[in-house]
Amino acid sequence: MQLIKESNYDLFDPVNIFPELLSVPDVEETKEIEGKIEKEPDRELSSVSELYKIFDRLNLRLFNNQIPRLTIKYSKRMLIAGSFNPVKNEITIGRKYHLIFRDDIEDTLAHEMIHYFYPNHGRQFKDMANRLGVSLKAKEHPNLRLACRYLYYCPSCGREYPRRKRLRMASCGNCTTGRKYDDRFKLKLKKNK
C-alpha cells in the first residue's frame, strides 16, 4: 500500500495539477519593504515544506520509513551544511552553505537522517552512509570559514596553527608523540588578530 502511495505522490502534487501556483510566493518566502512585497534574494533554496517532501521521499526510499517525522528548519547563522539534534529530534540545514552548494540539500538531509540512528561519525555511520551513497563530509568554501583570531607556532619546528579560540595547553602535533600533551612542544602565541 505504501508503494502505491509513493508512486502516486507526484500526481497529487499541486505543482503538477496547477502549475500557475508556482508564481504565487509562500508567506515565509516574502518580506515587506515599505509596503511592497519582495521575494527574498535566496528564494532558490527549497522551502521548509519542500524539505519535508524530500525527507518523506528519502525516509521511504533509503530508511524504509523507520525515522519518525523530525522537525526540519533552516539556520541563517550556521556555516556548516547541517546538524541533527537528537534531544529535540531536529534537523537544521545551513542556509549559507546551501546558497553556495544548492544541489547538496538532499545529500545533507540524508546525512542528517543517518544521525538519527548513529549520533557520531563512527564506523557504523560511515558504513551506512557508504551503503546509501551519502556524503560523509561537507564541501569546503572560503566564504564558510570564520577568520582566525589567534596564530600559534611550535617553538621546535615552527609549524603554525591558526585558531578561532585561545589555546591553554596544546602542543605541536608534528613534534608530540602519542597525541598527548608535551610541555617541550607547547604552542606559543605568535599573533593576536
Q: How far is CA 44 from CA 29, 37, 49, 165, in A?
A: 10, 17, 14, 35
The residue to which cell 617541550 is assigned:
184
Nearest to 3 by CA among 66, 61, 68, 67: 61
Q: What pLDDT sits at residue 43? A: 56
Per-residue pLDDT of the chain (193 residues; tens, 9 = 90+): 444 444 444 434 434 433 333 333 333 333 333 444 334 444 578 999 999 999 999 999 999 999 999 999 999 988 899 999 999 999 999 999 999 999 999 999 999 999 999 999 999 999 999 999 999 998 888 878 777 888 999 999 999 988 888 888 899 988 988 878 999 999 999 877 6
Tell me whether strands 150-153 and 30-33 are parallel, antiparallel or unpaired. Answer: unpaired
User: How far is it, in rounded angstroms, from Cα 187 to Cα 74?
Assistant: 38
User: Would you kindly state where each structural domain of the chain is located, as residue ranges?
Assistant: 24-142, 146-193
Q: Which CATH number fits domain 24-142: 3.40.50.300, 3.40.50.2300, 3.30.9.10, 3.30.2010.10?
A: 3.30.2010.10
